[in-house]
Structure formats: C-alpha cells, structure tokens
Amino acid sequence: MEFNIHSIVFLIFSVITLGGGLGTVTSRNLIHGAVYLIVSLFGVAGLFILLSAPFLAAIQVLVYIGAIAILIIFAVMLTRSMTRMTEIYNRQWSLSLVVSALLFVLLLVGIILPVWGPGTANAALQPSELVATTVDLGVAFVDGNQFVLPFEVASLLLTAAMIGAIVIARDRD
C-alpha cells in the first residue's frame, strides 16, 4: 500500500473510531462512555467522507451525535445509572472477551482476508473516480421501481417507534 495523505487520514479516523469504541465499552463512568461513543461516531463520519458519502457523514453527525447521544445522556441521567456502580462487567466478561476476539479473528481470517485481502482478485479493485451524488439518492428514494416502499416503511417504522417509546416511557396517567 502506498503511503499517501489519503491513507494517513484513513489511519487517523480508524484510530479515532476504534479508540472511541474501546473507551465506550471500558469506561466506568457512563457519561464518559457516551463521550467516547461520540468520538467514535465522529471517526465513522470521517470514514464516510473518505468513502465519498458526505451526505451520510453529515447525517451521522446530525442523527448520532445530535440526537442519539443526547438521548443516551438523558437516559443515563434519568436512571442515575452512572453512580454507585462498583462492578461494570458481569461474571462472563472474560468469556465475552475470548468470544469477541475469536469472532474478530474468524471474520478476518475466514472472510475478509481470503475474499478481499491483499493478493486476491478483489484486492485490485479500484473505486471509480465518479460516484453517485445525494441527488441520485433522492431520485432512488421516490422512484417507483427502486426504493419508494422502503422510503415509506421507514416513516412507518419511525412512527411506530415513537408511539411505542412514548407509551413505555410515560408515567402512569
């Protein structure tokens, strides 16, 4: 792999993403965990930009950092769950560590490296200079032959989620 500015930026964003992820699962204080989660999600947004999907990157910031992270922090505060927490891991944490590590190795050795890794036919795959834009995404969403059904179903799903969450979260009245 050649050593250019693109790969350096990729490396930085990967480290941010994975470092934030590690911080999220290991931090004792849940608010710190949420901050780490935000850092990690920023890294993912950066990866989206490198992948020429700036719209998804902006949505990532808007939805995850602007809304989901806020919601998680609200929930942490509402349940006072960051205080009085002596033990953050359950009894099976060592087993979980092994399983997760095994899963990673399995994914890497079993799928990623043999199919897309260096030396395979897919490794030479070069992305095209031109890519579809956000306008194409909009056209695809409302095209009767493409994704108009998922488009409406998404709305339905959100409606259902909102109604359900309100019913569950509200006090008895």
Site for other proteins in 38-77 (CB under 8 A): 38, 40-41, 44, 47-56, 58-77
| Residue from 3, 39, 121, 131 binding other proteins (CB under 8 A) | 131
Is 145 a binding residue for other proteins by CB under 8 A? The answer is no
Is 121 a binding residue for other proteins by CB under 8 A? The answer is no
| Residue from 3, 39, 121, 136 binding other proteins (CB under 8 A) | 136
Class of residue 49 by CB neighbours under 10 A (exposed 0-12, middle 13-18, buried 19+): middle
**Least separation in angstroms between CB 55 and other proteins:** 5
* Cα distance between residue 14 and residue 78, in whole Å: 33
Q: Which x/- pattern over 78-117 shows residues binding other proteins (rule: CB under 8 A)?
A: xxxxxx-x-xxxx-xx-xxx-xxx-xx--xx---xx--xx
| Residue in the structure block whose two tokens are 């999220």 | 24
* Cα distance between residue 113 and residue 104, in whole Å: 12
Using DSSP, state whether 153 is helix, strand or coil.
helix
| Residue in the structure block whose two tokens are 């993912």 | 44
